[in-house]
Amino acid sequence: MKRYTLVLVSILGTLISKAQDCTISISGRVIDFHDGVPLKDATITFNDQTIVTDKEGNYIISDLCPVAYAFTISHPNCNSQVITLDVAEVTKKDFYLEHHLDELQEVKVSGKKRTKTSSAQEETISKDVIEKYSSAALGDALKEITGVSSLNTGSTIVKPIIQGLSGSRVLIMNNGVRMQDMEWGDEHAPNVDINTAGNLTVVKGAAALRYGGDAIGGVIVMEPNKVPAKDTLTGRTIITGASNGRGTTVSSEIIKGYKSGWFLKAQGTLKRFGDVEAPDYVLSNTGIFERGGSLSFGNNKFTNGWDVYYSYYQNEIGVLAASHIGNADDLIESINSGQPSVINDFTYTIDNPKQDVTHHLGRLRYFKRFEKLGKWTTQYDFQHNQRFEFDIRQTEELRKIPSLDLELTTHTLTSDFVLDSKFDYNLDFGLLVRYQDNFADPSTRARRLIPDYDKYDAGLFVTGKYNLNDNITVDAGVRYDYNQIDAKKFYIKTRWEERGYDQEFNDLIIADEGTQWLTNPKFEYHSISATTGFNYVFGESYELRGNYALAQRAPNPAELFSDGLHHSASRIELGDLRIEQETSHKVSFSFQKSDENWGWEIAPYANFINDYIVLEPTDVELSIRGAFPVWEYRQTNARLLGIDAKLNKKWFPNWKTNHSFSLVKGRDIETEIPLINIPAANVSNALIFHKENWNDLVISLESEYTFRQNEFPDNIMVFSPQEQEDVLLEINTPPGDYHLLHLNADMTVPFIKQNKLNIGVTINNITNNTYRNYLNRQRFFADEVGRNFLLRLTFNY
Amino acid sequence: MNTRKFLSMLAIAGLFASSCSDDDDNPVVVNEEEVITTMNVTLTAGTDVVTLTSVDLDGPDGPNAPVVEVSGSLAANTTYTGAIELLNESEMPAEEINEEIEEEADEHQFFFEVAGTLNATAAATDTEADYPPLTGTNPVGLAFELVTTDASTGSLTITLRHMPTKPNDGTLADAGGDTDIAQSFDLTIE
């Protein structure tokens, strides 16, 4: 009520004000309150004038008098709002509109950006960028963000790397639920359909404590499109066809909203690709068959609301046939030959080796808003992850059963309370309890890579932020996590001794199974994480952020329990029961100027990780099947130093360029040896032509240059039975640098009545370059994917 | 839906969560199948019998290297008849693997490589047709022949490939497939 009184008074004030020295201008942006995405074509009306925001949501209003004005801010999908500003005192103002009216049926005006944290480095990509990646993986789209790269297994299994860190160090929040999908495996991609995301935010580091305390790498937040609280029925269908892989993706979404707050949303995706092709040959057995669907409904009012969400995801992924090798000699042979050992004709058939993963996610959420206090949210989520990996095994019969069959079930209950009624500060405190059960099915007739275990987690956090003044915000938070893991694990007796466990852990043995011991390791971890930082906004759209984050991560099951031959990788992976938590201290800064005409950001960081858990090739073990490289987990102290930078410049009305650069250097500071799998420096430059009058035509030409990684750990010597001598296994040597060109063009045309059709054409790797990528686990066996033509039709109705 | 309804749903969900805690039964042990732990190679020339053995009881999963033994020297300028026996000795009693290889002889092949300094040649003497009902003419290698010439030392590497390209030119590179065994033996010809 107070707000409306104020508006009324201000309008009166404007009316009675007299013309004075009217040369003042005010500028800023209109931004979606929920996701921080700039709103284009928003209108700002005052007196009899109307200003429209540009594509980046910017506006400038000039020739204003030094009095208070009442501005009406509107956007097609939003409820209009009236904001009063005294122009004599304010020259810079960002307006926040509730774009997708959801739980907050109000407009908030604040000088601050709506982001996940106030002080950490972060970046959001919006719906129209995500749509371009409709047929790709989550990890591909995230590479649009400076400092994000990926660890690939072929072209379809894409694990995001944030500032040099991946796997369990990167949390993925899918629609408010922390994904529990066996992220411990290098060849396990996130089990999410990118088409469920309305926007994607990456927080680079552990500063977003509410999501978890162990995000040493960072947090990826996927949020769905919000449903407006009005009577509406909308939908979207994206059809993408690609020449390379000869595949199609169809993704469709339909949303029904009611003014009363009720909503219903359904979404589905179908993706089918055959073998993709490198410039010189078919990459045999690299097809993919992905199916996904989600359904949500609920009732969101301003004071309270609830919703139910369920999603299903299944993906059958072929793994390059040539990547199946027998032993170290085969690996050497493959590295030397430079050609995949298996090249067949193109097919859609997915044969062994392959992965077949299914993920069910269910969520119930309830929130209640307390007047003059804040908002309480409670959520229960259920996840069921089933992973099958099929290998090339000795007999036809064995090939039909998976050699890895893991079933991970997770129940999580979270509750948090945000005290946000005060203008100058807010506090968020919450708790989490989680139970997880991993079942490794013995019907695989292969020794379990990861044992059966029960895991119990509990967490407590409090975070707060304080607006010192209009320009400076400080934030801080602390979190405690408890993890307990209770496993039943078999060890080959000789391995138990070789690891030295017989000296320390014999009390864990609970049964003697002939050649193996059954053990019951039960470990507890207490982790503390904390963060503090500031945000300083000044001048013409300048922002300086600084953050320190302390994070501790308990070891994952692979780091503790891996033991034995990993058939799909033909390497022996050895975890260690002695592994303790790793502790990261990260300091990061970001200095930026956001402006469509001339903007830039420089974001340096330093991450010191004590007891960093690293998996490296260390040795070879001989067996009757030949020599196998041994990859061991060990702990050391590490240091990652890096910088992400970007720049955008509008040269002419329709022409602009975007530039970005990222560099990270990782080092083991105990041995002064470079860390393994650190992304090489890369530069991206794009030339963009945009003409709104021509059906919103956008054409962009992008050049992507990746340097060779010159810092890598030493290779290992292997005894080759064939050569009868020790030979160098160049398992760590990175391939050379490469340069790729991509072209993208799209335009929006009217399509039946009020509807719109966006037509997009993309050519990736235009010059059909042959190259290999250091961060692709299959770089030993085959080249990367060659040229690819994509045609994309997006219907909005 | 009102708050009370929601809370009752939550309670049900909670019950579901707690009812999922598993029992304390121990998991079932898995012993790898189709593991070849032992290769016994018998080289016979009249009464002269030389055996080459490789025993890797903990398999490729275990840390221990195979125990490799050669019973004695080979005679110069002699033709030895070779026979290969494969066992899985991680099971009791030991499992004979030869039968499986014979049944799938069209999907298996042994390769014999002699390192340059050893004056000998080795080649398979059997074909798929020796293991009925198979009828192929490709070599298998469960039976082979080793012909020595002058006194020398060097190594013989025996490799068993599963699903090799057949026919092939006798080299591992051309054959491809998966390696089931790759074992070399240091030999002396006197």
* pLDDT above 60 (res A16): no
- Residue A665 to residues A214, A602, A642: CA-CA distances in angstroms? 21, 17, 6
Tokens of B102: 């014979």
User: What backbone torsions phi and psi does residue A443 show, to the nearest 5 degrees?
Assistant: -70, -5
Contacts of A368 in chain B (CB under 8 A): 3
The highest-confidence range among A81-85, A628-632, B169-173, by mean pLDDT, is A628-632
**Angle at A282 (CA atoms; ends A278, A287), nearest 5 degrees:** 100
Asked if the model's pLDDT at residue A659 lies above 60, the reply is yes
pLDDT score, position A721: 63
Q: How many CB atoms lie within 10 A of CB B8?
A: 10
Residue B61: pLDDT band (50, 70, 90) is confident
Q: Which pLDDT score is estimated for A761? A: 96
Confidence of residue A464 (pLDDT cuts 50, 70, 90): very high
* Per-residue pLDDT reduced to its tens digit, A113-126: 457 888 999 999 98
Q: Which of A352, A392, A394 to probe the B interface (max B CBs under 10 A)?
A: A394
Tokens found for residue A523: 């470990």
Closest CA to A585 of A616, A610, A605, A608: A608
Probe site for chain B from A396, A515, A624, A630 (most B CB atoms < 10 A) = A624
What SS3 state is found at A77?
Answer: coil
Substitution target from B31, B104, B118, B186 for chain A, most A beta carbons within 10 A: B31
| Most confident among A233-237, A452-456, B156-160 (mean pLDDT) | A452-456
Q: Is A469 helix (H, G, I), strand (E, B) or coil?
A: coil
Strand A655-668 relative to strand A682-691, pairing? antiparallel
Q: How confident is the model at residue A789, as a pLDDT?
A: 97
Q: Can you give the pLDDT at residue A568?
A: 66
CA distance B108 to chain A (A): 10
Q: Is the CA virtual torsion B86, B91, B94, B96 positive or negative?
A: negative
Q: Which two tokens stand for residue A42?
A: 């928003």
Written as one string, the DSSP assignment of A81-133 is EEEEEETTT-SB--EEE-SS--S--S-EE-SS---S-SSS-EEEE-HHHHHHT
For residues A35 and A146, what is the distance between their CA atoms, to the nearest angstrom? 19
Confidence of residue A38 (pLDDT cuts 50, 70, 90): confident
Band the pLDDT of A111: cuts 50, 70, 90. Answer: very low
Span A301-330, mean pLDDT? 89
Whether the Cβ atoms of residue A287 and residue A265 lie closer than 8 Å to each other: no
Of residues A687 and A403, the one with the higher pLDDT is A687
Of the listed ranges A95-109, A323-337, A365-379, the one predicted with least confidence? A95-109
Domains of chain A: 2-109 (2.60.40.1120), 199-296+341-796 (2.40.170.20)
CB A451 within 8 A of CB A490: yes
Q: Is A345 exposed, middle or buried (0-12, 13-18, 19+ CB in 10 A)?
A: exposed
| Gap between the Cα atoms of A404 and A188, Å rounded | 13
Say whether pTM exceeds 0.95.
no
Tell me whether A448 touches chain B (CB under 8 Å): yes
**Residue A790 token pair:** 């994509």
Are B62 and A380 a contacting pair at CB < 8 A?
A: no
Backbone angles phi, psi at A486, to 5 degrees: -130, 105
Across the interface, which of B22, B27, B63 has its CB nearest the CB of A437? B22
Q: Are B10 and A366 in contact (CB under 8 A)?
A: yes
Q: How far apart are the first and last CA of chain A?
A: 36
Residue A360 CB-density burial (10 A; 0-12 exposed, 13-18 middle, 19+ buried)? middle
A322-342 pLDDT per residue, tens:
888 877 777 888 888 888 888
B172 in contact with A, Cβ within 8 Å: yes
pLDDT of B146 higher than 90: yes
Per residue in A497-513, pLDDT (tens digit) is 999 999 999 999 999 98
Calculate mean pLDDT across residues A405-430: 91
What is the enclosing helix (H) or strand (E) of A210? none
CA gap A574, A563 in Å, rounded: 5
* Rounded-to-integer distance, Cα A769 and Cα B13, Å: 53
A729 — pLDDT class (breaks 50, 70, 90): confident
Distance CA B74, CA B30 (A): 41
pLDDT score at B1: 44
Q: Comparing A421-425, A431-435, B161-165, which segment has the lowest mean pLDDT?
A: A421-425
Please state, for a pLDDT cut of 70, what percent of chain B lies above it: 86
Cα-Cα-Cα-Cα dihedral sign, residues A252, A258, A264, A265? positive
3-state secondary structure of A724: coil
**CA-CA-CA-CA torsion for A688, A691, A696, A699, nearest 10 degrees?**
-30
Most confident of A216-230, A627-641, B24-38: A627-641
Considering only CB atoms, which chain A residues are within 8 Å of B184? 721-722, 724
Both tokens of A34, joined, read: 């929920």
Chain B interface includes A62 (CB < 8 A)? no
Please give the pLDDT value at position B8.
Answer: 56
